[in-house]
Amino acid sequence: MHKQGSHLKSQPRLVLHLDQFDHNCNAIARQANDKTIRIATKSIRSIPVLKRILASSNVFQGLMCYNAQEALFLHNKGFDNILIGYPSVDREALKQIAEVNKNGAHIICMVDHLQQVDMVQQIAKQEKGFIPLCLDIDMSTRYGGKLHFGVRRSPLHKLSDVLAIADYIKKQSHLRLIGAMGYEAQIAGVQDNLPHHLVVNKWMQVLKKQSIPSVKKRRGELVAALKARGFSLLLVNGGGTGSLSTTVKEDAVSEVTVGSGFYSPQLFDYYKQPLGTKPAMFFTLPIVRKAAKNIYTCHGGGYIASGKSGDDKMPVPVYPAGSRLISVEGAGEVQTPVFIPKQSKEIGDIIVFRAAKAGEICERFNDILCISEGKVVGYMPTYRGEGECFY
């Protein structure tokens, strides 16, 4: 980290509480259950932060990135063992990946369709390179063919479809199947302890409870079938922050992906099974107007999380205590009004917020102000601060 002169009150700032962040790293590492944990870069988006996680424990091994160009960026920054978590059709990036892999790098591409395999094979062959592949397998739970509990992600749900694409990959000259991944989003990414939603919470808890053994059984059968077919899988990846406690118990899984838990954003406050992490990432907005009694308007703030839109995707003011957004306005791109009871604030004072999700907030800031023991100790650049934007 490098020292810079700056003032919290002058502009919106992204803030990382290092003491609570380090606590989160330790809390996550303690739950690994002899598995390794791959870091989801989408939830971090800062090179120094990624390095801090990796240095905190040998449990953390490898990265799961979200973009092929990002994988090359991370490789150039000295990282290895990089799994691209999503299929890519970026031909130029795939050419470069084939080239760097030929020279000793270890960047793994994700596929779930024969057309993707054909494209990657063509590029790798053209470059006289090599690209290892990982299969993205759908781990959603289906009830009676009507209820789909999970995300719409990979088309590979049936064992026969998984084996068919695996056999097809085996025939390719410049590819090798080395891994399988299944993200049980219906367990890892679904809140089940929301305030004032008793019926929904109970329903989600029941579905999750039924889905956990189903996922374990399916994943075990899929991995066993691939190994019986002669495939030597170097990695079997599963889970996410919200399913860490259950995914690490699966014998078929070799590693679990975790990302959001390191920053512990607001969405993770509402899981029945607590992770044991503490809020570590915040952002501050300066007050620029006194709109009315107890209503203060901040500059900026419309950092809305991705996914289905709703109040749970908006940032939440956490300091001063009792602060809340104005329901008819929410958080705006250039201004955000906040109701603050029982306190008098001045223009130039700051309000502290938490974002709903983790790494997405880093796209809004060039650097992260780091605090420890109540003091500013430095700054860490985000991807954006290093001049990179992968979407």
Query: Widest CA span of the chain, in angstroms?
Result: 71
For residues 332 and 297, the answer to whether their CB atoms sit within 8 Å is no
Residue in 66, 298, 311, 92 with CA at minimum distance from that of residue 197: 311
Same domain membership, residue 192 and residue 78: yes
Rounded mean pLDDT of 362-388? Answer: 96
Same domain, 315 and 246: no
Query: Residue 259's domain is classified under what CATH number?
Result: 3.20.20.10
- Mean pLDDT score across all residues of the chain: 88
163 and 287 together in one domain: no
Residue at 269 is within a domain? no
Q: Which amino acid would we find at residue 46?
A: S
pLDDT, residue 147, reads 63
- pLDDT tens sequence across 215-234: 788 888 899 999 999 999 99
- Reading the block at residue 308, the tokens are 């289905």
Residue 272 lies inside a defined structural domain of this protein: no
Q: Do 115 and 37 fall within a single domain?
A: yes
259 and 351, same domain (yes or no): no
pLDDT per residue as tens digits for the range 37-75 = 999 999 999 999 999 999 999 999 999 999 999 999 999
Q: Domain with 363 in it: what CATH number?
A: 2.40.37.20
pLDDT higher than 60, residue 5: no
pLDDT of residue 148: 62
Q: Is 268 within the bounds of a domain?
A: no
9 found inside a domain: no
Q: What is the pLDDT of residue 109?
A: 98
Q: State the average pLDDT over residues 348-367.
A: 94
Within a domain: residue 319? yes
> Is residue 391 one of the residues assigned to a domain?
no
Of 204, 230, 263, the residue at which a domain comes to its end is 263
Q: Is the pLDDT of residue 2 over 50?
A: no
Task: Evaluate whether residue 334 is within a structural domain.
Answer: yes
Q: Report the pLDDT value the prediction gives residue 243, as an integer from 0 to 100.
A: 77
pLDDT value for 314: 87
Q: Which two tokens stand for residue 71?
A: 């994988």
What is the three-state SS of 339-373? ECCCCCCCCCCEEEEECCCCHHHHHHCCEEEEEEC
- Do residues 152 and 215 share a domain? yes
Q: Are residues 170 and 296 in the same domain?
A: no
Shared domain check, 322 and 218: no
Domain limit, last residue, from 232, 263, 294: 263
**Stretch 348-373: mean pLDDT, rounded?**
94
Residue 268's pLDDT is 74
Q: Read off the pLDDT band of 198 (50, 70, 90).
A: low
Check whether 274 has a pLDDT greater than 80. Answer: no
Number of domains in the chain: 2
Is residue 21 a contact partner of residue 280, using CB atoms and an 8 Å limit? Answer: yes
Same domain, 194 and 225: yes
Shared-domain flag, residues 313 and 218: no
When comparing pLDDT for 233 and 206, which is higher?
Answer: 233
Which helix or strand (DSSP H or E) is residue 164 part of?
Answer: helix 159-170
pLDDT of residue 139: 76
Distance, CA of 277 to CA of 283 (rounded, Å): 18
- Note down the domain range covering 326: 281-386
Percent helix, strand, coil in the chain (nearest 5)?
35, 25, 40
Using the predicted structure, report yes or no on whether residue 377 has a pLDDT greater than 60.
yes
Residue type for position 245: S
**Reported confidence tier of residue 195, pLDDT bands at 50, 70, 90:** low
Residue 28, pLDDT above cutoff 60: yes
Residue 3 is predicted with a pLDDT of 39
- 308 with 253, same domain: the answer is no
Same-domain pairing of 292 and 240: no
H or E segment to which residue 219 belongs: helix 198-228
Task: Look at residue 48 and tell me if it is in a domain.
Answer: yes
**Token pair recorded at residue 53:** 């996680």
- Among 196, 229, 263, give the residue marking a domain's end: 263
pTM above 0.85, yes or no: yes
